[in-house]
């Protein structure tokens, strides 16, 4: 039974929203970042990068305080305003390629995260959890919702569809040519219906935002200890989520690049691969895998199709049947000597429809020795792994939509 609540969002004014909205901080190149920060004083990047104008390094705790102060300045200047009453928010993103995503922005419960009603499929890194928890504790807000998914629900889908037949509160385009719309749901009856429908959902899954979810849970535990009158209903018991039906998600693969063959010759490497794979040399033809347990490989100027010999590999659970895990267990770890996928600098990752060409270019340049292409994981694989309490290897999925920062803000 999921607890998904309306909240009083802080939002840019309609005339400023296009200027405020930003992509995730990490997605900008230094050149892009410098251009935006020097030309757009309303960008949310000015809040999360408060030391830009002074061009000097700022210690972490001081930076967090500056972020908080810059956010307060935006509110004082009227760039941001908070709604008078708690609402759900229907949000739609239409990508430049015509693909669209619609869902509901609402408050997700850290208790649900703790009790595994909100389920994860990726490991998190403890120091990153604690770092972001400290950030949240200082700044006092979420500015980018966690992407959460649930089994398709006809009632919720109907509400989203009906709401989109009305005039949105605002609509705007972003610098990557995506088009965004937001509607506010204020009807008591509709709010009650949405809340009830989510209460009838047994499991919600994190699609993107594992560290932010974990950090929010740590924040709850920290503030709970400090509050002698803790009730469980305080705003710090929740975090902002974008709830989207699982049929709306787009899941893409993450491909792998390895810098060397771990001291092996090409022939010896291929010989060891044959213990678990059937190998077909495809020459210069771009080779993209089309089914589970099949991979493409680019090595020494040639593409190969490699297919798992399933009689050589036994699946004991949902994780072991995942292609990213198969590649790790049969190639990356035993042959190429990569046991730590998070911290080994010999491996890198690429996502996107053009990544096979990028793999070829990076291997041809000599930066990497070999590249592997995978097919995307499915939502059913993700759910099965989460339901079994297992976690995927890092960079197993690239899931869209990717959400903007600063369009809705949740304060606690």
| Claim to verify: residue 99 and residue 204 sit in the same structural domain | yes
Q: What is the mean pLDDT of residues 376-401?
A: 94
| Claim to verify: residue 183 and residue 262 sit in the same structural domain | no
Q: What is the mean pLDDT of residues 238-253?
A: 96
Percentage of residues in the chain having pLDDT higher than 70? 98
Q: What is the mean pLDDT of the chain?
A: 94
| Claim to verify: residue 214 and residue 275 sit in the same structural domain | no
Full domain range(s) for residue 305: 254-396
Q: What is the mean pLDDT of residues 73-89?
A: 97
Q: What is the mean pLDDT of residues 145-158?
A: 98
Count the domains in the chain. 2
| Claim to verify: residue 301 and residue 220 sit in the same structural domain | no
pLDDT value at 160 more than 60 = yes
| Claim to verify: residue 32 and residue 171 sit in the same structural domain | yes
CB contact at 8 A, 116 and 253: no
* pLDDT grade for 57, boundaries at 50, 70 and 90: low
User: Which run of H or of E encompasses 358?
Assistant: helix 355-364
| Claim to verify: residue 71 and residue 215 sit in the same structural domain | yes
| Claim to verify: residue 348 and residue 243 sit in the same structural domain | no
For strand 146-150 and strand 118-119, is the pairing parallel, antiparallel, or unpaired? Answer: unpaired
| Claim to verify: residue 235 and residue 299 sit in the same structural domain | no
Who has greater pLDDT, 395 or 136? 136
pLDDT digits (tens, 9 = 90+) for 270-313: 999 999 999 999 999 989 999 999 999 999 999 999 999 988 88
What is the pLDDT, as a whole number, of residue 354? 67
| Claim to verify: residue 197 and residue 296 sit in the same structural domain | no
| Claim to verify: residue 175 and residue 264 sit in the same structural domain | no
| Claim to verify: residue 202 and residue 82 sit in the same structural domain | yes
CA distance 366 to 224: 53
| Claim to verify: residue 46 and residue 123 sit in the same structural domain | yes
pLDDT digits (tens, 9 = 90+) for 312-366: 888 999 999 999 999 999 999 999 999 999 889 999 999 876 688 999 999 999 9
User: What's 344's domain CATH number?
Assistant: 3.30.1760
Q: What is the mean pLDDT of residues 15-23?
A: 95
Q: pTM here?
A: 0.92
CA distance 313 to 181: 48
CA distance 370 to 261: 8
């Amino acid at each position: 039974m999921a607890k998904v609540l309306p909240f009083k969002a802080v939002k840019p004014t309609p005339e400023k929203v296009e200027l405020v909205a930003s992509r995730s901080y990490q997605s900008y190149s230094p050149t892009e970042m410098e251009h935006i920060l020097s030309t757009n004083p309303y960008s949310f990047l000015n809040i999360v990068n408060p030391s830009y104008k002074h061009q000097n390094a700022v210690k972490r705790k001081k930076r967090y305080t500056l972020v908080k102060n810059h956010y307060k300045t935006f509110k004082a200047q009227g760039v941001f305003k908070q709604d008078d009453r708690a609402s759900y928010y229907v949000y739609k993103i239409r990508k430049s390629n015509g693909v669209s995503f619609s869902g509901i922005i609402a408050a997700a419960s850290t208790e649900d995260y703790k009790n595994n009603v909100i389920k994860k499929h990726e490991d998190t890194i403890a120091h990153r959890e604690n770092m972001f928890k400290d950030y949240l504790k200082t700044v006092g807000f979420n500015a980018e919702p966690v992407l959460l998914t649930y089994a398709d629900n006809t009632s919720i889908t109907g509400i989203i569809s009906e709401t989109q037949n009305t005039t949105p509160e605002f609509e705007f385009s972003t610098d990557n040519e995506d088009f965004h719309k937001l509607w506010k749901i204020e009807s008591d009856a509709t709010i009650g219906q949405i809340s009830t429908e989510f209460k009838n959902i047994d499991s919600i899954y994190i699609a993107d935002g594992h560290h932010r979810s974990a950090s929010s849970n740590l924040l709850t535990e920290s503030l709970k200890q400090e509050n002698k009158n803790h009730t469980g209903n305080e705003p710090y018991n929740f975090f902002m989520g974008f709830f989207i039906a699982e049929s709306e998600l787009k899941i893409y693969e993450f491909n792998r690049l390895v810098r060397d063959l771990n001291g092996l010759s090409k022939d010896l490497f291929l010989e060891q691969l044959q213990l678990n794979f059937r190998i077909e040399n495809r020459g210069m033809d771009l080779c993209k895998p089309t089914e589970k347990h099949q991979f493409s490989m680019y090595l020494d100027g040639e593409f190969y199709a490699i297919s798992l010999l399933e009689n050589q590999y036994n699946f004991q659970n949902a994780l072991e049947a995942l292609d990213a895990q198969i590649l790790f267990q049969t190639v990356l770890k035993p042959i190429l000597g990569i046991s730590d996928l998070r911290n080994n600098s010999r491996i890198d990752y690429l996502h996107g429809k053009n990544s096979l060409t990028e793999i070829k270019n990076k291997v041809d340049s000599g930066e990497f020795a070999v590249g592997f292409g995978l097919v995307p994981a499915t939502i059913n694989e993700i759910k099965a792994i989460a339901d079994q309490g297992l976690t995927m290897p890092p960079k197993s999925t690239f899931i869209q939509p990717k959400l903007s920062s600063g369009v809705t803000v949740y304060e606690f």
